[in-house]
Amino acid sequence: MHPGPRNLITDIPGLRVGNAADPRLKSGVTVLTGDKPFTAAVHVMGGAPGTRETHLLAPDKLVSQADALVLSGGSAFGLAACDGVMAGLAAAGRGFAVGAARVPIVPGAIVFDLLNGGDKAWTQNPYPALGGAAFEAAGADFAIGTAGAGTGATTGNLKGGLGSASAVLASGATVGALVVVNALGRATVGETRHFWAAPWELDAEFGGLGLPAVFPADHEPQPAKRMGEATTIAIVATDAALDKPALQRLATAAHDGMARALVPSHTPLDGDLVFAVSTGARPLADPVADSFLLGHAAASCLARAIARAVHAASPRPGDGQPCWRNLRA
């Protein structure tokens, strides 16, 4: 496999991503939407998730497609970002048809960034407006690192951020990942600049350093955050035609990429989850073999996207953590 032309989830035709952020707030919103509704599912592995409308994505539920997915900062306040996205979709005439009414389907998930030094003393929840702005900004190209929902993200030792990556398979199918890295764990090995995700790196996309020659002896990390303060939330997507059960399996497989790139992952203190999306544009030639390869690609893309998020993070006034780029070589 090789990266798509942008090395972003938007290498999948028909998908668009928008970011909006408030530097004073040190928080923001990222929205994935499409030219038309897409099939979606979700799988949660963390012990402290914050979500909206995710039950709709279960394989046995009526609604089979979503109009957008929202990743937001702000903890539970950030779930209101979905309201702004719904308003934008409604204005565009989008949504699940119930008679003459249309109801936009906008599941979302949040990360906790309320203690990152930003000004959180608002009198009106800022996230609906940020969600609307992110939706309006959606396009094929978007920033990663300190952007969108990754604006105020942190990890166990470094600034986190927003990451994305893509892969084109030999079959011609494309897989992509989009992630907000706000983890309790670390993306780097010990005190080094080397990323845990190094074995899956393509084209030196996060420094090309490989794994360290010597690993630290102590592999018993201590929590750097408290209950509810950490979460990594992600979307994996493909143009391969997958239904909701197959997408739920794809999301489950993608969690392997999170565990490869963040140590530790899926703790009781994290709210780790993965959405999975299919545009349905490319029929499966061999459902068994293709599903196997798609799961592997989704996990690899997510691991790479996590490392790219941390690698791309940039400093801002009042940061409580250093950026990867400021570590000594």
Q: Is the dihedral of CA 164, 46, 19, 186 positive or negative?
A: negative
Structural domain spans, the chain: 2-210+224-318
pLDDT tens per residue, range 80-112: 999 999 999 999 999 988 888 899 999 999 999
Q: Which residues, 6+ apart, have CB-to-CB distance to 12 below 8 Å?
A: 4, 166, 174, 175, 176, 237, 238, 239, 279
Q: Measured between alpha carbons, how far is 123 from 187 in angstroms, rounded to an integer?
A: 35
Q: Measured between alpha carbons, how far is 81 from 268 in angstroms, rounded to an integer?
A: 25
CATH number of 2-210+224-318: 3.60.70.12
The residue whose two tokens read 């790479």 is 304
pTM above 0.75, yes or no: yes
What pLDDT shows up at residue 109?
97
Instruction: Evaluate if residue 226 carries a pLDDT over 60.
Output: no
What pLDDT shows up at residue 224?
59
What pLDDT shows up at residue 329?
65
Q: Mean per-residue pLDDT for 263-292?
A: 87
Q: Mean per-residue pLDDT for 17-42?
A: 97
What pLDDT shows up at residue 63?
87
What pLDDT shows up at residue 300?
97
Give the phi and the psi of residue 234 in degrees, each rounded to 5.
-145, 160
pLDDT tens per residue, range 196-207: 999 999 999 999
Q: Is 106 exposed, middle or buried (0-12, 13-18, 19+ CB in 10 A)?
A: buried
- Inter-residue contact 177 to 236 (CB < 8 Å): yes
Q: Mean per-residue pLDDT for 305-312?
A: 98
For residue 67, name the pLDDT band (cuts at 50, 70, 90): very high
Mean pLDDT of the chain, nearest integer: 92
